[in-house]
Amino acid sequence: MTAVAAFGVASWQANAAPPSPGATPGAAAEQPRVSDPSAPPEPVAGTGSDPLTSTEVGKARAVALTPKLATGARDVTGAAGPEYLSAEIAADSTVRRAELYFYDYRTDKLVKQVVDLRTGKLTGSYSATGMQPPAAAREVDRALDLVLAGPYAADLRSRYAEATGRALGGKADLTVAAHIHHVRPADTVARSCGTHRCLQLVVQAADGQFIDFDDIIIDLSGRTVARLK
């Protein structure tokens, strides 16, 4: 048999062999792929009207906390420096700017600081009394501390026991949110709320059971706790 004939026979035998089980004729075998369930890393900076990244917020807070604010304002615990509340991207600007909100418990003023994220400079500073945005987590935690250290701690413990059938072991047994409380015409206590920063707690046991505590008002500015009549 010539070399050419031998090559032809070998080629015919190879092409005539049946495909291996599970193989698709004419298609290359797919390689196994592993998916990555982790979220992609957060970008350092956003573009346009994208929400602020954590890096942008950190840098903007450092710029917004001027020496005057850092030494003259007071936070929810009475320590030097304002209480940080929140940050958001400026919605009405062609320049990417961050608007940061702080509360000064010394003067009971809401402070708004505007930072140009491109230049890293403070471009606006504003303050006003009587403005009460939603409470930050540190403020809610401080309000709960004031309750537990005050005259209505026993009320919270008894209401917890009544709702759950067990004794309150401590803060870890509670999930707490809060509403801002403004004084109402019929209120006979907490008359400063609205000018002062006051919270009304929404209390749940760790298992989700709600604890009735709507009648207790915490004045964070005055560091007092009162019951609505």
CATH of the domain at 97: 3.10.450.40
- Of the residues 112, 129, 146, the one at which a domain ends: 129
Looking at residue 118, its pLDDT comes to 93
Domain count, the chain: 2
Question: In whole angstroms, how large is the CA radius of gyration of the chain?
Answer: 31
* pLDDT for residue 6 is more than 70: no
- Round to whole Å and give the CA distance between 160 and 99: 40
Q: Are residues 204 and 161 in the same domain?
A: yes
- Of the residues 105, 129, 153, the one at which a domain ends: 129
Q: What is the mean pLDDT of residues 199-217?
A: 95
Asked whether the beta carbons of 41 and 25 are under 8 A apart, the reply is no
Q: Are residues 142 and 223 in the same domain?
A: yes
* pLDDT for residue 39 is more than 80: no
Looking at residue 216, its pLDDT comes to 97
Q: Are residues 142 and 212 in the same domain?
A: yes
Looking at residue 190, its pLDDT comes to 84
Q: Are residues 125 and 192 in the same domain?
A: no
Buried b (16+ CB within 10 A) or exposed e, 3-21: eeeeeeeeeeeeeeeeeee
- Of the residues 106, 129, 152, the one at which a domain ends: 129
* Per-residue 3-state assignment (H helix, E strand, C coil) for 68-120: HHHHHCECCCCCECCEEEEEEECCCCCCCEEEEEEEECCCCEEEEEEEECCCC
Q: Does residue 188 lie within any of the structural domains?
A: yes
- Round to whole Å and give the CA distance between 99 and 130: 19
Give me 186's structure tokens.
């019929």
Model confidence pLDDT, tens digit, residues 87-127: 999 987 788 999 999 999 999 999 999 999 999 999 999 99
CA distance readout (Å), 102 to 70, 109, 149, 152 = 11, 9, 26, 29
Q: In the predicted model, what is the mean pLDDT of the chain?
A: 86
Q: Are residues 120 and 163 in the same domain?
A: no
Looking at residue 13, its pLDDT comes to 42
Q: Are residues 141 and 219 in the same domain?
A: yes
- Higher-confidence residue: 18 or 151? 151
- Round to whole Å and give the CA distance between 151 and 166: 21
Looking at residue 7, its pLDDT comes to 34
* pLDDT for residue 26 is more than 70: no
Q: Does residue 201 lie within any of the structural domains?
A: yes
- Higher-confidence residue: 108 or 50? 108
CATH at residue 218? 3.10.450
Q: Residue 113: give the domain boundaries.
A: 54-129
Whose CA is closest to 221, among 146, 126, 112, 134? 146
Give 186's pLDDT tier (boundaries 50, 70, 90).
confident
- Higher-confidence residue: 45 or 126? 126
Return the residue matching tokens 């950190």.
Answer: 58
Q: Are residues 187 and 146 in the same domain?
A: yes
pTM: 0.79
Task: Taking the CA atoms of 173, 179, 182 and 185 in sequence, report the sign of the dihedral they define.
Answer: negative
Task: Name residues whose C-beta falls within 8 Å of residue 97's C-beta, 6 or more positions apart in sequence.
Answer: 89, 90, 114, 115, 116, 117, 123
Q: Are residues 147 and 101 in the same domain?
A: no
